[in-house]
Structure 1
Amino acid sequence: MSQISIAHSPDADDIFMYYAIKFGWVELKNTTFDNIALDIETLNQEALKGTYDISAISFGLYPFIKDDYALLRTAVSFGNGYGPKLVKLKDKKLKPNFKVALSGHYTTNALLFKIAYPNAKITYMNFLDIEKAVLDGVVDAGVLIHESILEYSHLLEVEKEIWDIWVELAGEGIPLPLGGMAIRRSIPLLKAIEYEDTLIKAVKVAHNQKHLMSKMLLERDLVRVDYDTLQTYLNLYANEESIELSELQLKAINLLYKIGFEKGFYKDIIVAQDYMLPKEYKSLRYDN
């Protein structure tokens, strides 16, 4: 029996996309998937250390782990007209060197924020603490992610949508790459392909059984929002487009890496397709 560790964030879209496996709706023979939920900064840092077999990551991190992890095609989250929000107290004027809270050094939103606000003084904290830090004046502003973008204090206002920064850099009609998953390259290729196929199936099953999955997650207190808010959030970040990467999504990821290279954040340009599991290997192997 193989034991495979899967790390994901505790936010609603990751929980939703993984729990078809946890509930036993999707299985892989002779394989046990052990999951752990961690905030996105911790996930990215652990991926840099190669801690987990499969891990949710920020797309912005991937060029730094490409030699140790392959990029998976499933459980992806993109913004399309929406995304993380830079918020501040209402009527507060931000200086060029304002102090800001971000959810992690390697997140996509951090990359885009740094491009737009090169003089800001950045502090990193758990995404659950950012709103309070802004309200308490610990920081001048903060970038809200996950469910926080839907419900935040009436004392706050949006200074800038990260989506707008993305459009300014990438142009219209390109979705914003936020989060995906990666798998350790040391796993035998045929096994890795089986694991990816299982995860694709899990995301598809969750999407097709959205009402039941949502009900079970809420009954078990596995998500932090009510039913209606959960549906709104899932429509944004765990939808049909999350099941398997499309050509447009791949174009968006590659554009992110091109922009990151041009702005000096990556040492070279990578093409996502070159770092994914070669699914054709399975059929070629058995044909021979």
Structure 2
Amino acid sequence: MRKKITVAHSPDADDIFMYMAVKFGWLGQDFDFENVALDIQSLNDKALENFYDVSAISFALYPLIADEYALLRTAVSFGEGYGPKLVKKKDKILKKNFKVALSGAHTTNALIFKMKYKEAKIIYKNFLDIEKAVLEDEVDAGVLIHESILDFDKSLCVEAELWDIWLDFAKENLPLPLGGMALRRSLPLSDAIKIEKILTKAVSLADSNKAILSKMLMQRKLIRVDEEKLNTYLNLYANKNSISMNELQLKAVNKLFELGFNYGFYEKNIDVKDYLIPLEYEEIRNS
């Protein structure tokens, strides 16, 4: 009997896209994978509870769960010249203590926002409800994420790109770490290595078969956007750089952790390479 592994991810297009090669049975596997789709803050909250075997998380959350979860190299989303957007009504002038809607306390966009706008009054909402909150004057502004950055009401304008804010803090041109995947340390290391390899292959297959998989997702009505926006979004957040983190991406994650530590969000500064699954274990074991 195969072991059941629960993989939790967000309902946005890139997470679904990167997971569905597993769901559709495109690769042989040693586990029965079961998936759960939740908004990013719910995923972060569940990770704090050590709830799911494998979970999508905000990179900014990771130092808070590092003792319970290893960080996977695969199924990652980075902004490179783009990212979440702080939007407001075009006629709105933001005061220092403006009221803003964010998608969750432990998201990367929240971390960067808090470093920049220290006096803002924050409320947290499901990312799907943020645009509406701005339009109905529940808040003065909101940070849009996921597909929302591609198409929002014409009465709104971009006050700030979080990409630009990130570059100001990072002091160098590094990709913006947004979403990653974490795996529970309670799983046997041999299983952890196999799971990371399966998910890496799934993301690689998805990227190589983007047209076929996109059509399948559209036919099953698993995506909230039309085909054109889906292709645009996947090119941004689910691409060859999502398959396995490279050295520049790892450097960017470390910079995020360093900034979070320097601004008092984490108790200690950690090096991401110390928290990845040691793939070399399998080679040593089989040698």
Please state which band the TM-score falls in when normalised by the shorter chain: over 0.9
User: Aligned residue for 1:279?
Assistant: 279
Other-structure match for 1:21: 22
Partners of 2:168 and 2:233 in 1: how far apart? 25
> Which deviates more from structure 2 when the two are superposed, residues 19-28 or residues 183-192?
19-28
User: How do 1:210-221 residues align onto structure 2 when only pairs under 5 Å count?
Assistant: 210-221=210-221
Letter in 1 for 2:5: I
Alpha-carbon shift at residue 12 of structure 1 (Å): 0.1
CA offsets 1:85-139 (integer angstroms, 9 cap, x no match): 0000012100111110000000000000000000000000100000000000000
Report the counterpart of residue 98 of structure 1 in structure 2.
98
Partner of 1:173: 173
Distance 2:105 2:192 in 1: 28
TM-score of the aligned structures, taking structure 1 as reference length: 0.99
Shift, 1:14, TM fit = 0.1
Residue 93 of structure 2 aligns to a residue whose secondary structure is: coil
Identity %: 62
Return the alpha-carbon distance in structure 2 between the equivalents of residues 125 and 227 of structure 1.
27
Structure 2 unaligned residues grouped into runs of 5+: none
Name the SS for the 1:110 alignment partner.
helix
Q: Give the alignment's TM-score, normalised by structure 2.
A: 0.99
Which residue of 2 is the match for residue 156 of structure 1?
A: 156
Q: Distance in 2 between matches of 1:14 and 1:50?
A: 20
1:14-41 CA-to-partner distances (Å, cap 9, x unmatched) read 0000000000102313x10000000000
Instruction: Determine the structure 1 residue equivalent to 2:4.
Output: 3
Structure 1 residue 47 displacement after superposition: 0.1
Tell whether 2:255 aligns with 1:255.
yes
Pair 1:194-2:158 in alignment? no
Q: Shift in Å at residue 173 of structure 1? A: 1.9
User: Which letter does structure 2 place at the counterpart of 1:98?
Assistant: F
Residue 74 of structure 1 corresponds to 74
**1:286 Cα offset (Å):** 1.2
- Match of 1:50? 50
Q: Is the partner of 1:50 in helix, strand or coil?
A: coil
Distance 1:167 1:181 in 2: 23
The gaps in structure 1 that reach 5 residues or longer are none
Q: Shift of residue 191 of structure 1? A: 0.5
| Pairs within 5 Å for 1:134-145 | 134-145=134-145
In structure 1, C-alpha distance between the alignment counterparts of 2:266 and 2:169, rounded to whole Å: 16
What is the aligned length? 286
Partner AA of 1:20 in structure 2: A
RMSD of aligned alpha carbons: 0.5
1:206-244 per-position Cα deviation (integer Å, ceiling 9, x unaligned): 000000000000000000011111010001000000000
1:125 aligns with 2:114: no
Residue 171 of structure 1 and its aligned partner are, at CA, apart by 2.3
Q: Cα deviation per residue 1:226-263 (whole Å; 9 max; x = unaligned)? A: 11110100010000000000000000000000111111
Secondary structure of the equivalent of 2:60?
Answer: coil
Cα distance in structure 1, aligned partners of 2:54 and 2:255: 24
- Cα distance in 1, alignment partners of residues 277 and 71 from structure 2: 7
Distance 2:27 2:63 in 1: 31
Any runs of at least 4 consecutive aligned residues in structure 1 with deviations exceeding 2 A, and if so which? Answer: none
